[in-house]
Structure 1
Amino acid sequence: MTPTAIGLILVSALLHAGWNLIGKRTAQTVRFYAWAMGFGMLLFSPLLIRAWPQVSALPVEFWWLLLASGLCQTLYMSGLAKAYSHGNLNIVYPLARALPVLVVPVVIVLVYGQSQLLPRDVIGMGLIMLGSLALPLVRWRDWHWRNYCTPAIGWVLLAAGATAGYSVLDSAAILIMKREGMSAFDAGSSFVVLQAISCLLWMLPLIRWGFGESLRQLPDLGWTMLAGSFIIGTYLLILVSMSMVSEVSYVVALRQISIPLGVVIGVFWLRESMSPPRLQGLGVMLLGLVLVSV
């Protein structure tokens, strides 16, 4: 992986942990994420207008991928909002980020029939997943499979599965855009705005008829706008980095550096507890991140 791609992913991780803190601290509703996506879309819309002549010429295959990606993003945001309403940031956030590390390579193999991952990468991803399993624990002797059978974990599984879905779909969409002659930045910057639009098309009816929330109640304007800029900005960096790697699994794994950041934020800003199993689990995850990034 190139130093530029690693740098983009690290900055993205900081922004990602930031908007998850905002979502946990200020609002735990799908409505909040809809407003945030809307503000972020408007803020970055000039980037789509700039590249529109090339975007409008993209094949039909691209638009189907975009529509499916918007659905996955909607499920991800919904799962995350509901998980935060049932659990702590230092449990929900790491699990939601770590689970796709194993899911994405499996999907890649099923879709393409091969993978470019090295044995070292597979070991690192396994360590990331193994470390995440310790996060719900307060004491090791309390371990039981029922610890993972809570409403929060159920919503986390939805968010993680959706993350794997949009990661693979978006990688395929970016490849089409590059194949059609678009630069890495033009492809990433225009796609992130289009994806926000697609997400809102799925999210708005779900909020009204699925969750029974009212869009008329505007969340805190300042925090919502900041979260929206972080949501769109962080994924713009990820999409650009996707065009610089041989397989999206590398990006999905390395961006989990945001996991320890999210846990630290939960402890120092939200006053959430840090048990020995959680601390040890984070250490194992960091080792896995090192193996994937070197």
Structure 2
Amino acid sequence: MTPAAIGLILVSALLHAGWNLIGKRTAQTVRFYAWAMGLGMLIFSPLLLRVWPEVTALPSAFWWLLLASGLCQTLYLTGLAKAYRHGNLNIVYPLARALPVLIVPAVVLITYGQSQLQATDLIGMCLIILGSLALPLVCWREWHWRDYRTPAIAWVLLAACATAGYSVLDSAAIQLMKQQGMDAFAAGSSFVVLQAAACLIWMLPLVRWGFGESLRVVPDFGWTLLAGSFIIGTYLLILVSMSMVSEVSYVVALRQVSIPLGVLIGVIWLREPVSLPRLQGLVVMVAGLFLVSL
């Protein structure tokens, strides 16, 4: 990976951990994320207007990818909101970030029939997964498979699978935009606004009729606005970095540098408990991240 791509991903990781802290601390509802996506879309909409003629010329295949990506984003945010309602940040966040590291390469391999990952990349990804398995544990001697059979873990699995889905779809969409002559920033900046709109197409009916939540009142406007700008901003950086790498699996793996940040935030700001297995799992995950970033 290029230094520029790594730098963009590291900044994105800081923003990502930040909006997850806001989501956990302020509101654990899908309505919160719907408002955040809408406000973030409005903030970044000038970026779309700047390249609107090029966007309208994109082929129909792009718009189908965009619609599918919006659905995956909706499932991701729904899973995240529900998981935070049932679990701590220092458990939910690392699991939701780590599991796509294993899922995305499998999807890429199945879809394209080949992968550019090296042996060290695969070892690193396996370490990230092994480390994530230790996060729900309080004591090794009390380990039981039932530790993973909780509502929070079920919602995390939904969020992780949805993350893998939109990562692969977005990578294909960005490559399609580049093939049409758009540069990396133009493609990423316009797509992130379009994706927010596509997400709202799925999310608004789900919030209103699926969960019966009212959309009339913004849940804590200031924090929702900040979260929305972080959500769109962090993914803008990721989309631009996707255009700089040969395979999306590298981006998905290195993004997990936000995992230790999420754990530290949960412990320091939210006063969440931390156990020895969780600390050991975090160390293993960081080692995996180091291998992937080489």
TM-score, structure 2 as length reference? 1.00
Q: Which residue of 1 aligns with 2:56?
A: 56
Q: Which residue of 1 aligns with 2:29?
A: 29
Q: Which residue of 1 aligns with 2:38?
A: 38
Matches within 5 A, 1:251-290: 251-290=251-290
Distance 1:116 1:218 in 2: 45
Deviations 1:254-287 (A, max 9, x none): 0000000000000000000110000000000000
Amino acid at match of 2:259: I
Asked if residue 11 in structure 1 is aligned to residue 11 in structure 2, the reply is yes
Distance 1:255 1:263 in 2: 15
Q: CA deviation at 1:212?
A: 1.1
Deviations 1:205-236 (A, max 9, x none): 00111111111231101100000000000000
Asked if residue 225 in structure 1 is aligned to residue 220 in structure 2, the reply is no
Asked if residue 87 in structure 1 is aligned to residue 98 in structure 2, the reply is no
Matches within 5 A, 1:1-294: 1-294=1-294
Q: CA deviation at 1:75?
A: 0.1
Report SS of the residue matched to 2:51.
helix
Distance 2:145 2:212 in 1: 32
| More moved, 208-217 vs 55-64 | 208-217
* Aligned residues with identical type, % of pairs: 81
How many residues are aligned here? 294
Unpaired runs of 5+ in structure 1? none
Amino acid at match of 1:138: V
Distance 2:217 2:152 in 1: 25
Q: CA deviation at 1:79?
A: 0.2
Amino acid at match of 1:19: W
Distance 1:234 1:17 in 2: 10
Report SS of the residue matched to 1:85.
helix
Amino acid at match of 2:59: P
Report SS of the residue matched to 2:246.
coil
Q: Which runs of 4+ in 1 moved over 2 A?
A: none
Amino acid at match of 1:270: L
Distance 1:251 1:67 in 2: 22
Unpaired runs of 5+ in structure 2? none
Distance 1:169 1:181 in 2: 19
Distance 1:124 1:14 in 2: 21
Report SS of the residue matched to 2:166.
helix
